[in-house]
Structure 1
Amino acid sequence: MARVSQEHLDARRRQIIDGAARCFARNGFHATSMQDVLAEVGLSAGAVYRYFRGKDELIAAIADEAFSGIRVAFEEASRVTPPPTPDVLLGAVLRIFLEERIPGADRQAFARLIVQVWSETMRDEKLFRTLSEGYNGMREVWAELVEAYRANGLMHADVPADHLARTMIAIAQGFIAQQALFGDVEAPILEDGLRALMSMTPEQPGRRG
């Protein structure tokens, strides 16, 4: 029997994850059965269960992969001199996340999948650990970006880096939640809003009246 190459195994795993993500985004996590996933990817049960034992492992793999992809994007950005400003950076990463992650899946459906993953962490300890690791990793990456901003004279040093990191993550989460609920949010809206906030300057004493 010919030995199956690692490239083939990786491609098959990719096929299963992408198909499951399309199913979950389209129909919801709880309304999707493993039979639905099998039909979506066009594989036998044995072929799929070789990689994943059930929906929980699939959703964990999707969550882990999403965080890994976003972290790589932010890490690459931190190596640019000077690093892109938060409006440009968040806009670029969210475009990748919501528009390119699953070809053929609409952005609102995929955003709803992300929100479902968040809710699943309340009942699934393993998924909670995956989400927590991803969240803490993002805080570290954003803290590194803050240091890069400061080193390039783009940001004051009077706010702890982790405070800004948590704030930027909250903005991204809010953007995804709006997309999931209302489906009318575009990355340029976030970029414009952040740019406007960044342009504000404290009013100097005596300027009024």
Structure 2
Amino acid sequence: MKQLLSCLIILFFVHGFMSFEQEYTTVAYMYQYCDCSWLDCYIMHSANKEKVGRVVFGEASGESDNGKLEVAYTIVNRVNHAGFPNSLNAVVNQTYKSGGKTFHHYNTLDNSGHDKRWEAAKEPGATEHAAYNSAITQAGHALCGTKSDPMNCGPVNFCAKNPCSATNSNKYWCVTEKRQIGSHWFTCIKKKTGTC
């Protein structure tokens, strides 16, 4: 009960425009079905599931549950990794420059039809509604930790081919583990202190 009250207080201040009933329903659901600690309750809020789920949907909608889950975990793992921003918003929206253009780290966010496809998939009966539900479910598992990370090392990078820049060591980071899940290769990295 103390955890539940803590979650309510956090969400009340963060989402002051929601009614108390909406806040209580949201937190009660998370507390009952996700077994989140009180600090995790904000992270697990539905808006954050949407943020992560949107990336999972675009990057891995044709993948198995484990493939979707691992894509979701790359976001969660980046928040906790020294090489990336330390907030969910900053990780999801992180960009880089190449050839004078700016791109998102999660390339699906740059696809012209991504937003329209995502919004259409939310509708019950839509062709991709099952893929939407699966992406949201796996995002929730990764955010709340209700399903273990398929790779215990905390992968932060992935790409659809090997080798690629995400699966190779570079002058800053050493790849410590690499694994293929579905059509993606995932890697765990650590700061380079000598030779990889």
TM-score by length of 1: 0.28
Q: Where is the strand percentage greater, Structure 1 or Structure 2?
A: 2
TM-score, normalised with respect to structure 2 = 0.29
Structure whose residues are more often helix by fraction: 1
* Rg comparison, structure with higher value: 1
